[in-house]
């Protein structure tokens, strides 16, 4: 690789690393409406789409999924409205795949957006049944309200 190209590749890598290091998963849960949130929103929007998705996957692994395993892959097909995640869950010998088909982001004027995951399918029959039961009994909501501006930015950027 020529020296100029190497320089720019390293600059992009270092810059992306700085942005990634600035934004931690706790930022997505422990957020307010101060200047730092605005900075985080600007940095997240600056990332290329692939890096945004990679950031979300990495941060989910550090936080929400930490007790249960890890997400090894995340694909979001905006055009066909499909989200696919590959998981390595503790206690499972093989990977688990989760697919959300026909997801929607519902935005009504004057209200926070709602995320509707659409049809959810899990590659483990027992886990698929448990998840559908939890949704049917409203233990897990059918739609999730996205209250925070930073969360809204992340969701709108990647979906």
Predicted confidence (pLDDT) per residue in 10-56, tens digit: 555 554 444 444 444 444 445 555 677 777 788 888 889 999 999 89
* For the chain, domain boundaries: 3-158
Whether 1 has a pLDDT exceeding 80, the answer reads no
CB 80 within 8 A of CB 90: no
Indicate the DSSP class of residue 107.
-
pLDDT at 42: 83
Whether 94 has a pLDDT exceeding 80, the answer reads yes
Return the half-sphere exposure (C-beta side, CA atoms, 13 A cut-off) of residue 89: 15
Q: Phi and psi of 22, rounded to 5°?
A: -65, -35
- pLDDT average, residue stretch 146-158: 86
pLDDT at 40: 79
**What would the pLDDT profile of 133-146 be if each residue is shown by its tens digit?**
999 998 888 999 98
- pLDDT average, residue stretch 105-130: 94
Ordered strands of the 104-106 beta sheet: 104-106, 114-116, 144-145
Tokens standing for 135? Answer: 């949704």
């Amino acid at each position: 690789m020529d020296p100029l190209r190497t320089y720019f590749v390293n600059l992009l890598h270092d810059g992306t690393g700085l942005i990634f290091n600035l934004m931690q998963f706790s930022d997505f849960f422990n957020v307010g409406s101060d200047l730092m949130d605005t900075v985080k929103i600007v940095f997240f929007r600056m990332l290329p789409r692939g890096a945004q998705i990679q950031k979300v996957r990495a941060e989910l692994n550090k936080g929400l999924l930490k007790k249960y395993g890890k997400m090894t892959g995340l694909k979001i097909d905006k055009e066909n409205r499909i989200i696919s995640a590959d998981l390595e869950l503790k206690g499972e010998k093989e990977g688990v795949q989760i697919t959300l088909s026909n997801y929607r982001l519902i935005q009504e004027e004057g209200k926070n957006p709602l995320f509707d995951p659409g049809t959810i399918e899990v590659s483990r029959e027992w886990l698929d049944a448990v998840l559908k039961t939890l949704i049917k009994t409203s233990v897990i909501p059918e739609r999730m309200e996205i209250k925070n501006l930073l969360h809204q930015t992340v969701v709108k950027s990647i979906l």
